Chain A
Amino acid sequence: QKEVEQNSGPLSVPEGAIASLNCTYSDRGSQSFFWYRQYSGKSPELIMFIYSNGDKEDGRFTAQLNKASQYVSLLIRDSQPSDSATYLCAVNSPDSNYQLIWGAGTKLIIKP
């Protein structure tokens, strides 16, 4: 059973601080890694995707991938109240026809 694990939270972070969200996955054949943000009652919105080991930065967001440890993380710098949402980690693999396997999400709360 291929799994993606996330801490359900809630993770509470002061406004302006760095929020760190973590995700582990079980399938070593996983190829692509995605972070989505989901506001309550809304559909997931793509934040970032990463394929290679290391860091990928986009504005206030940095995704980090470590395939040896089967670990992917998302850092949010200068956290804003509008960042409060559930963050979902998803991975896919050619071995499973690229279906996205999702974690249950981490609820992030940014406190003003």
Chain B
Amino acid sequence: ETGVTQSPTHLIKTRGQQVTLRCSSQSGHNTVSWYQQALGQGPQFIFQYYREEENGRGNFPPRFSGLQFPNYSSELNVNALELDDSALYLCASSRDIGGSYGYTFGSGTRLTVV
């Protein structure tokens, strides 16, 4: 079975620009969640998608938005980028909403905002 894949792996953007990050979930997984991880910190929950619907959102402003597609892949969009958005963005997929069998993470996208 294929794991979780994220693209791109690295990205440099200018403040004020917009960015789209992509994630393909592991085969058999219908739930995708996104996390932001700053250096030296644990991941922070952004939002979760289950069967194309947003199912839970963390403390992130509306300029962070997402989508899940019928094949359960997902996108994270960030508008009006700020310097503090520089972080590792992680996508995780799971077999169900509750993560009964754990969450599998992709390798992440390292976003740098300059």
Residues of A near any B CB (own CB < 8 A):
4, 31-32, 34, 36, 42-46, 49, 88, 90, 92, 94, 96-105
Residues of A within 8 Å of B105, CB to CB, are 36, 43-46
Total interface residues on B, CB under 8 Å, equals 27
> Would B97 and A98 count as touching, CB distance under 8 A?
yes
User: In chain A, what residue has the closest Cβ to B107?
Assistant: A43
Contact of A98 among B88, B99, B102 (CB under 8 A): B99
* A107 → chain B closest CB, angstroms: 9
Residues of B within 8 A of A94 (CB): 98
A99 touches B43 (CB 8 A): no
A59 to B11, CA, bound (A): 38
| Best-buried of B56, B103, B105 by chain A (most CB within 10 Å) | B103
Q: A43-B90, A44-B105, A45-B105 are in contact. Are A99 and B98 (CB under 8 A)?
A: no
A77–B100 alpha-carbon span in the complex (Å): 26
Interface of B, secondary structure class, is loop
A105's closest neighbor in chain B, by CB? B42
CB-based A-B contact count at 8 angstroms: 67
Contacts A32-B98, A97-B56 known; 11 new A-B pairs at CB < 8 A:
A36-B105, A42-B107, A44-B90, A44-B105, A49-B101, A97-B55, A98-B98, A99-B58, A100-B33, A104-B40, A104-B41
CA A43 – CA B101 in complex, angstroms? Answer: 18
Tell me which residues across on chain B come within 8 A of A31, comparing CB atoms.
Answer: 98
Kindly provide the distance from the CB of B103 to the nearest chain A CB, expressed in whole angstroms. Answer: 7
Chain B residues in 8 Å Cβ range of A42: 107-108
User: Which one of B40, B45, B88 lies within 8 Å of A100 (CB-CB)?
Assistant: B45
Closest A residue, CB atoms, query B96? A98
User: Which residues of chain B come closer than 8 Å to A105, judged between CB atoms?
Assistant: 42
> A44 and B43: CB pair below 8 A?
yes
B106 contact from A43, A97, A98, A100, Cβ within 8 A: A43
CB neighbours (8 Å) of A97 from chain B are 48, 55-56, 97
- Contacts A43-B90, A97-B55, A98-B97; A34 near B42 (Cβ below 8 A): no
